[in-house]
Amino acid sequence: MTLRWKPWIGLLACTPIACGSMACASEPLDGKIESLESPAGPGSGEGNLVAGADGNLYLSWIEKDGEGHVLKFSRWEKTGWSAPSPIARGDDWFVNWADVPGMIALADGILLAHWLAGTGSETEAYGIQVTRSGDGGKTWSAPVHPHRDTTDTEHGFASWAPLSTDRAALIWLDGRETAGADGDGAEHGHGAEHDESAGPMTLRATSVSADGTLGEDVLLDERACDCCNTDLAAMDDGSLLAVYRDRSEGEIRDISVMRFDGKAWGEGKTLHTDGWKIDGCPVNGPAVAVVGKNVAAAWFTVDASDHGHVRVAFSKDGGITFGAPIEVGGADPMGRVDVALLPGGEARVLWMEALKDGAAEIRVRGVDPEGTLGKSRIVVTTSDSRASGFPRMARHGDALFLAWTDPGDPPRVRTAVLR
């Protein structure tokens, strides 16, 4: 099958439209959307948000640093973001609109972060670099690879979750099986058609302790979608829930969910049978949020008529079973979803909606497990191109924090809060 360009695939680079730092916030959801002064500088991108187990909210992003790049972070401090602090610098990094760095804060105050660095001559040959800090981010350790193979293949789309007070879990897409006899991987490309001469992409997991000790390198799924972002959430009882886009032998790429019960990972199960058949990776993964045993999982899919859908499903038993999916998106959703869960069981779903002439909107909408929908609210008007990246959302206290890339000239990571 030859892929036609669609905004949700992002195969074709588009010229970004001019975007302001904040726009179209006249009808906020359950409160007021307030623009925040972003700590990210001009030329920044690849923003990510995480609510840490230490009770803090963190924003991370990448900026240009001479001929290389620097990964920075900032902590929310009641009325604004702290001064940005560097995590790592390098001139061999793999910087990509969809496969972005991230970080996590454990309950004991340990910070862990990751980014991507090249490992070979091929564009898609890169590995995950993990570092840790025990002093609040003032200093960081030398990086280590969580994957123990030496193939020059893709390793990325990683997601973190706390495993204990001093240990974190990490899952990622791992391309070691795509390597040929010489150890080089096939050129998949983010959004390109899959090379059938190569082996499949896999999903793997490990753990990282406060002192940097790595746990076992565990194979979770032997055949996953090549370049859709993953997500991982922790529950109060120590179990984990992973969501990712699977890939069948017949090229059905529906969303799967997998549980870690505190001792071992179970088998992946299809979250809902959407039946999306596509020969190339759509670069459009799912998101999951947990409060107690309540779970909300959001994702993007396309039906047989080539129409996109943003859906969310709820679980009340820690992800063992899910209810029927609820439609959230509008007339022409692109996906790039995120989800947050409120203590009362309601979810807030974030996604991008395509407009005309290369424009798009970042939207947020409330939904409860019974299927009651709030109004679809515009956060900001932006571009449907890769330059807009993936908008992110995290709940901190009674507020939802938002981060996205303004694809202007220069681009810049912007932030806002929904109170």
User: What confidence tens digit (pLDDT) does each residue in 121-173 have?
Assistant: 887 899 999 999 999 999 999 999 999 999 999 999 999 999 999 999 999 99
Show Cβ contacts of residue 77 under 8 Å, excluding neighbours closer than 6 positions: none
- Please give the Cα distance from 15 to 419 (Å, whole number): 33
Q: According to DSSP H, which parts of 123-185 are helical?
A: none
Length of the chain counted residue by residue: 419
Supply angle C-alpha 211, 214, 217, rounded to 5. Answer: 170
Mean per-residue pLDDT over the chain, rounded: 90
- How is the chain split into domains, by residue range? 33-418
Across-strand partners of 255?
245
- Please give the Cα distance from 58 to 67 (Å, whole number): 26
| Pick from 123-137, 175-189, 228-242, 244-258: least confident | 175-189
User: What confidence tens digit (pLDDT) does each residue in 330-376 have?
Assistant: 899 999 999 999 999 999 999 999 999 999 999 999 999 999 999 99
State the residue for tokens 């390198």. 217
How deeply is 359 buried, as exposed, middle or buried, from its count of CB atoms within 10 A (0-12, 13-18, 19+)? middle
CATH 3.90.1150.10 fits 33-418, yes or no: no
Confidence of residue 30 (pLDDT cuts 50, 70, 90): low
Spatial strand order in the sheet of 255-260? 231-234, 240-245, 255-260, 269-270
- Please give the Cα distance from 312 to 323 (Å, whole number): 9
Compute CA distances 217 → 131, 174, 290, 376, whole Å. 17, 11, 25, 41
pLDDT at 40 over 90: yes
Q: What is the DSSP letter of 305?
A: T
Structure tokens at 178: 């795509």
353's enclosing H/E stretch is strand 347-354
Buried b (16+ CB within 10 A) or exposed e, 83-119: ebeebbebeebbbbbbbbbbbbbbeebbbbbbbbbbb
Supply angle C-alpha 201, 207, 208, rounded to 5. Answer: 125
